[in-house]
Amino acid sequence: MSYLDTVDAYTICIGILIIVLILIICGNGWMNRSLPPGPWALPLIGNVPQLLGSKNFHLKCLELRQIYGDVLHLKVGGVDVIVILDYKLIQDTLKNEGEKFAFRPNWLHVLNKVYRKKGITWNHGANFERLKNFTKCPLSQATGVENRILDELQSLSNIMDLSRDKPVPLQKVLSKAVTGIICGITFGARYDEKEPDFLYLTGLLEKFHKQSIFQLSENFMPWVRFLPFQSALKDFLDVENKLRTFMKKRIQDHKDTFNEGDIRDFIDHYLNPNKKDRIESCVSDDDISRTIIDLLYIGPDVLTSAILWAILYLVRSPGVQKKIQNELKEVVGTDSVAKISHRAKLPFMRATIKEILRIASPVPMGYPHTVTENVKLAEYTIPKNTIVFFHLQAAHNDHTYWKRPQEFRPDRFLDDGEEIKHDCFFPFSVGPRACIGEDLAQNVMFLFLSNLLQKFTFKSPEGASVPSTESVYTNSLRPVEFDVVAIPNE
């Protein structure tokens, strides 16, 4: 009788499992030799246990930086993740080697299933480049965009007028206004806030924002979809399908009413035969639908967060608020509307917006990049299909570059009234994947803040404490809810 005949099947299985685990662990350690340092990862799930207790991934990375240094390696499920926190390396990589990192990890299970390499957020390659260039034009047409922003701003001002000395529901009214701007630019609709279509759309977007599609566990551990528990993926896909149907109807409505002599919005820009012949071979209705959803998913959320931070810091810094109001009074007056053409003459306003974007960093780590081949990064080798984050918030708060970075000081962007350009400032990222909505975001922030401050002074309600700078993260970083009153200026 052989030795194997005396060993039961259970023992053999256990032995094989141990050998496999040893090979996985040893193989993992061997492959990690060329990667940056980071916490030891478990097979199959990687560093998920270390990350589960952290609500804010960007803050967890700052903690790990104290242990492992300015470049971190994490294993999330079966996916390698690199986080770069050193501002010099961020700047050098994005500016000089941005093409190597100009890709999105759209091969992840959920991203591939939902986006199908359409739209602008999770797309890359030649199709993305054409779509990006096409999208930039209607987003940056100054006159048309400015008018839409001012229309929504007037409605917002009316709400604040009616609030008198009562707290303004800032998050709600700002989100509605910014969503209205994106709707106007993309498909020409200016909705009343109680209109059924608008309520339906904002309801879907609200559900969409409750869960980051990138953070769904199925992206990093596709096998979890076979486990017997309820995942957020099903709800997400339901909302996604309804949004896609909603956008397809908007596109069809535009096709039915298109007039070449009256280009109303982004969809008409796409349908315009003078433009379409340049892109029709690579951009489809699905691309346009997906792009509009991308803009509605990102734009209102990030811009609402940025303006909330602006008002919070102005409430905390009444001297800065008063200085802006004096500058507006001198340049614009009290009866005129502040317009984009005034921006060049308002250096302190511009500096304040920059300081808000620096200290708040509404998108603290930008959007994830990936590499499609092995790439050198400093002394490390980044393997193909590794996800790479550039920690913008870490750069914006780097003590080796900024003097007292935790303080709100707009004058750090000015020198004797002249604007200073900082190498360590990139709220919209830089390089090939810089935010295509930067011009729109800058215009919205400038017009909102300049016109609101021209009419109102923002304060905490009587007896209330100064708002906290504590933050919460969903798809952008925003302050915890705070009360504010809008006092009409005399």
pLDDT in tens, 224-251: 888 777 677 888 888 889 999 999 999 9
**Measuring CA to CA, how many Å separate 238 from each of 114, 233, 245, 396?**
11, 9, 11, 38
Q: Give the pair of three-digit tokens for residue 394.
A: 């870490």
Q: Give the pair of three-digit tokens for residue 77.
A: 């499920």
pLDDT reading at 4 higher than 50: no
Say which range, 78-82, 113-117, 200-204, 334-338, has the weakest mean pLDDT.
Answer: 113-117
**Measuring CA to CA, how many Å separate 372 from each of 102, 107, 232, 362, 376?**
9, 11, 29, 28, 12
Q: Give yes or no for a contact between 217 and 224, defined as CB atoms under 8 angstroms apart.
A: yes
Query: Residue 363: left if φ>0, alpha if ψ -120 to 50, beta else—which one?
Result: beta
Ordered alpha helix ranges (H), 283-317 = 285-316
pLDDT reading at 459 higher than 80: yes
Sorting pLDDT into bands at 50, 70 and 90, what band is 29?
Answer: very low
pTM here? 0.90
- Which of 243, 229, 227, 233 is CA-nearest to residue 211? 233
Sorting pLDDT into bands at 50, 70 and 90, what band is 6?
Answer: very low
- Which of 14, 66, 15, 24 is CA-nearest to residue 45? 24
pLDDT reading at 347 higher than 90: yes
Q: CB under 8 Å to 22, separation ≥6 — which residues?
A: none
pLDDT (mean) for 127-142: 76
The CATH class that applies to domain 35-488 reads: mainly alpha
Q: Give yes or no for a contact between 388 and 82, defined as CB atoms under 8 angstroms apart.
A: yes
Say which range, 169-183, 243-257, 274-288, has the weakest mean pLDDT.
Answer: 274-288
**Helix 438-455 / helix 347-360 crossing angle, nearest 10 deg:** 120
pLDDT (mean) for 278-299: 81
Distance CA 191, CA 29 (A): 56
For the ranges 68-82, 130-144, 152-166, the maximum mean pLDDT occurs at 68-82
pLDDT reading at 402 higher than 80: yes
For the ranges 25-39, 204-218, 402-416, the maximum mean pLDDT occurs at 402-416
Q: Do β-strands 414-415 and 387-390 pair in parallel, antiparallel, or remain unpaired?
A: unpaired
Q: CB under 8 Å to 430, separation ≥6 — which residues?
A: 91, 94, 95, 98
Query: Residue 350: left if φ>0, alpha if ψ -120 to 50, beta else—which one?
Result: alpha
* The one-letter amino acid at 7: V
pLDDT of the residue at 210? 74
- Which of 377, 379, 325 is CA-nearest to residue 348? 325
- Which of 378, 390, 388, 364 is CA-nearest to residue 81? 388
Domain ranges of the chain: 35-488
Return the higher-pLDDT residue of 20 and 456.
456
Q: How many CB atoms lie within 10 A of CB 216?
A: 21
334-346 residue pLDDT tens: 889 999 999 999 9
Sorting pLDDT into bands at 50, 70 and 90, what band is 142?
Answer: low
Task: Give the rounded percent of residues in the chain with a pLDDT score beyond 90.
Answer: 56
How many residues are present in the chain? 490
pLDDT reading at 30 higher than 80: no
- DSSP sequence for 188-237: -----TT-HHHHHHHHHHHHHHTS-STT-HHHH-GGGGGSSS--HHHHHH
Facing residues of 479 across strands? 471
Q: Give the pair of three-digit tokens for residue 103.
A: 């890709």
Q: Give yes or no for a contact between 428 and 139, defined as CB atoms under 8 angstroms apart.
A: no
Q: Give the pair of three-digit tokens for residue 368.
A: 């994830």
* The one-letter amino acid at 35: L
- Which of 438, 167, 199, 144 is CA-nearest to residue 298? 438
pLDDT reading at 194 higher than 90: no
* The one-letter amino acid at 278: R
pLDDT reading at 31 higher than 50: no
Contacts 24+ apart (CB under 8 A), 118-123: 118/284, 118/286, 118/287, 118/289, 118/290, 118/291, 119/287, 119/290, 119/291, 119/293, 119/294, 120/290, 120/291, 120/294, 120/436, 121/294, 121/297, 121/298, 121/367
Q: Do β-strands 79-84 and 387-390 pair in parallel, antiparallel, or remain unpaired?
A: parallel
- Virtual torsion, Cα 468, 469, 471, 476, nearest 10 deg: 130
Helix (H, G, I), strand (E, B) or coil at 44: coil
Residue 424 phi, psi (nearest 5): -100, 35
Q: Give the pair of three-digit tokens for residue 193.
A: 């806030």
pLDDT of the residue at 301? 92
Average pLDDT, whole number, for the chain?
87
Return the higher-pLDDT residue of 22 and 464.
464
Sorting pLDDT into bands at 50, 70 and 90, what band is 263?
Answer: confident
pLDDT of the residue at 469? 95
Sorting pLDDT into bands at 50, 70 and 90, what band is 413?
Answer: very high
For the ranges 22-26, 48-52, 189-193, 211-215, the maximum mean pLDDT occurs at 48-52
pLDDT of the residue at 15? 56
Distance CA 132, CA 150 (A): 26
379-400 residue pLDDT tens: 999 999 999 999 999 999 999 9
pLDDT reading at 11 higher than 60: no
Q: What is the DSSP letter of 103?
A: B
Distance CA 90, CA 310 (A): 26
pLDDT of the residue at 244? 92
Sorting pLDDT into bands at 50, 70 and 90, what band is 128?
Answer: confident
Ordered alpha helix ranges (H), 71-169 = 87-96, 109-115, 126-140, 142-163
Task: Give the rounded percent of residues in the chain with a pLDDT score beyond 70.
Answer: 89
* 364, HSE (Cβ side, Cα atoms, 13 Å): 22
pLDDT of the residue at 307? 97
Distance of CA 17 to the CA centre of its chain: 43
pLDDT reading at 52 higher than 80: no
